[in-house]
Amino acid sequence: LLADDGRIAATIFAEMSALALRTGAINLGQGFPDEDGPAEVLEAARQAIADGINQYPPGIGLPVLREAIARHQHRFYGVDVDAASEVLVTAGATEALAATLLAFVDTGDEVVTFEPYYDAYAALIARAGGVHRTVPLHFPDWRPDPDELRAAVTDRTRLIIVNSPHNPTGVVFDDEILELVVELATRHDAIIVTDEVYEHLTFGVAHRPIATLPGAWERTVSISSGGKTFSTTGWKIGWLTAPAPLVTAVLAVKQYLTYVNGAPFQPAIAVGLELPDAFFSEAAAALARKRDVLVGGLTAAGFAVSTPQAGYFVIADASPLGVDDGAAFCRELPERAGVVGVPVSAFVHGDRHDVYRSLVRFAFCKRLPVLEEASARLRRLG
């Protein structure tokens, strides 16, 4: 896990995937799909390689992808971004996050995130020299308390990171919370960084990008990635959209992180972004069926489950099974049930482990028979 000074031991995902490999357990730990995404996208990458798109692309990204990202923002959210100056292609959402934090956070600056949080945030904030402030999300509906959010944002706040749809909880923040973030960021002159990698994977609730709220665009860096939407997590094609001066500041950092990334995958992700609406709605509907199977399986096994509105993950409370320590439970689970999950304590600060102690995150971005088998195995726990 992460040391409090930000040094990185193996990430929880690497540790749990290694455990799954070692024990042959079903890996519902790290979030990656076990099936390929759309054939058009895969074929476009093969074609790009055959066409010789194999050398350094421009640092800001190939025009074909930047234009597809701009059209995607317009098609789904009615936002007009300039493909030439307001879009930056990155090595996954991870590099977009890293470069943004390194660009804007100075030593001692405060960065606010909700908690639990995607683990990379804490590590990157520490690397940038920032101070991490968290606003708790409360099980089981994962809604933050507006007063706790108000209390966390001050004139020391440089950046507020919003991740909606949210990993690990699967919550989609409502308008009231998003509006409050914009209000607080404006009052304290903070930058909003929004991680929207699960933007298309919502189950009957609408994802509203925070950049579309009044007053938000000028201070918001919106981050997404092709990995989740097109089941290409290994390609590491991500991007951000933001006003040109913010893009320039992030590009200045990116050029010394990766310089450029993934030439043949960029036109392929562009093909994905141009797929018809039906692709996006069917992908979400297929994932919702997977969610239902795993939520049903976990419930039948005796867990108390919080049904996610979006994303790849479900959080289950193991305390009805007599579990007190979720981390110890996850280490034993491959032996006891042949399934791997991730303790939610991996996504919270050390001093708050107790609050989330008995909670476990399971990924449902797997084929239905795999989820059914995992459910059957978990039922034997009781």
Site residues (vs ligand PMP, CB under 6 A)? 31, 92-94, 118, 163, 167, 195, 197, 225, 227, 233, 236, 238
Instruction: Return d(Cα 278, Cα 74) in angstroms, integer.
Output: 17
Other beta carbons within 10 Å of 78: 9
Residue 11 touches which of ligand GLN, ligand PMP, none (Cβ within 5-8 Å per kind): ligand GLN
Angle at 229 between CA 314 and CA 202, to 5 degrees: 45
Q: Which two tokens stand for residue 123?
A: 């590590």
Instruction: Return d(Cα 318, Cα 312) in angstroms, integer.
Output: 19
Burial 24-52 (b: 16+ CB within 10 A, else e): ebbbbbbbbbeeebbeebbebbeebeeee
Residue 30 within binding range of ligand GLN, rule CB under 6 A = yes
Looking at beta carbons only, is 217 or 362 nearer to ligand GLN? 362
CB 292 → ligand PMP: shortest distance, Å? Answer: 21
Contact residues for 104 (Cβ-Cβ < 8 A; gap 6+): 158, 159, 191, 249
Query: Which residue's Cβ lies closest to ligand GLN?
Result: 31
Asked whether the beta carbons of 238 and 226 are under 8 A apart, the reply is yes
Residue 30 touches which of ligand PMP, ligand GLN, none (Cβ within 5-8 Å per kind): ligand GLN
Residue 13 within binding range of ligand GLN, rule CB under 6 A = yes
Asked whether the beta carbons of 377 and 338 are under 8 A apart, the reply is yes
Residue 73 touches which of ligand GLN, ligand PMP, none (Cβ within 5-8 Å per kind): none
CB 40 → ligand GLN: shortest distance, Å? Answer: 24
Residue 167 within binding range of ligand GLN, rule CB under 6 A = yes
Instruction: Return d(Cα 339, Cα 324) in angstroms, integer.
Output: 18
Residue 92 touches which of ligand GLN, ligand PMP, none (Cβ within 5-8 Å per kind): ligand PMP
Q: Using alpha carbons, select from 31, 96, 28 the residue that is nearest to residue 233.
A: 31
Q: Using alpha carbons, select from 218, 124, 109, 130 the residue that is nearest to residue 163.
A: 124
Residue 225 touches which of ligand PMP, ligand GLN, none (Cβ within 5-8 Å per kind): ligand PMP
How far does the chain reach from its first CA to its final CA, in angstroms?
29
Looking at beta carbons only, is 92 or 130 nearer to ligand PMP? 92
Looking at beta carbons only, is 323 or 346 nearer to ligand GLN? 346
Residue 1 within binding range of ligand GLN, rule CB under 6 A = no
**What three-state secondary structure class fits 305?**
strand
Among 1, 6, 8, 11, binds ligand GLN (CB under 6 A): 11
Looking at beta carbons only, is 217 or 235 nearer to ligand GLN? 235
CB 175 → ligand PMP: shortest distance, Å? Answer: 20
Residue 13 touches which of ligand PMP, ligand GLN, none (Cβ within 5-8 Å per kind): ligand GLN
Residue 229 touches which of ligand GLN, ligand PMP, none (Cβ within 5-8 Å per kind): none
Instruction: Return d(Cα 242, Cα 86) in angstroms, integer.
Output: 5
Looking at beta carbons only, is 118 or 280 nearer to ligand PMP? 118
CB 117 → ligand PMP: shortest distance, Å? Answer: 9
List residues binding ligand GLN (CB under 6 A). 11, 13, 30-31, 167
